[in-house]
Structure 1
Amino acid sequence: MSISLRIKELRKRKDISQKDFSNTIRVDNSQFSKIEAGKLQPTLQQLMDICSNFGVTMDWLCFGSNEAETKGKKEDDDESYKELAEARKAIIEYQKEEINQLKMDLERLKNK
């Protein structure tokens, strides 16, 4: 089963509309529809948002491992996951800033 099918399965299991699901993970509804149809791959941030908002593991979402729900995990594991998620968000934000800086540098070189 693909990531898109697992996302669709999760949404139906939680009895949530596409619009509500996409709003929860901060994705445009048309983009989410493409993700669920398998026409567009979700970003890492979107996958992390799905995991944290809907209580599933990244292993299940990406690879279909047997243990889907994160319930029953030790509090230390939950805290470690939150720290890891925050670190990933910081890395992504840093990368965006670096890309913007490179674009500005490129524009300056073009204008010389």
Structure 2
Amino acid sequence: MITTSRAFAFSLLVLAAGAASAQTYASDTNQRDAANVTARNNYPVVPFTSTKTRAEVIAELKQAQNAGLITNGNDYPIVRQAPSQKSRADVKRESTEARSSTTSLYQGA
């Protein structure tokens, strides 16, 4: 009797342990989604499959570096300002007209 009840208790314990371990298993996608939720990250998880090998990417990077297409730090191209169509006198006149008009929402303190 004691042996039967011990065997039953042992098998019940094994079943409970198996059920507990089955609940903790999650796939990679589920783990990634859970990490995004706990990190307050609202971006969807987009699966990525590469079409290029690592060697192809490195070769492409070196080619771009040799061509001068890769910027470093604040090394951005200089954007030239378009020439103005108004003279300095026109700008001054418009500025005085704008200051004298009462269309401004700010009237001073």
TM-score (norm 2): 0.24
Larger CA Rg, structure 1 vs 2: 2
More relative contact order, 1 or 2 (CA 8 Å, 6+ apart): 1
TM-score (norm 1): 0.23
Q: Which has the higher helix share?
A: 1
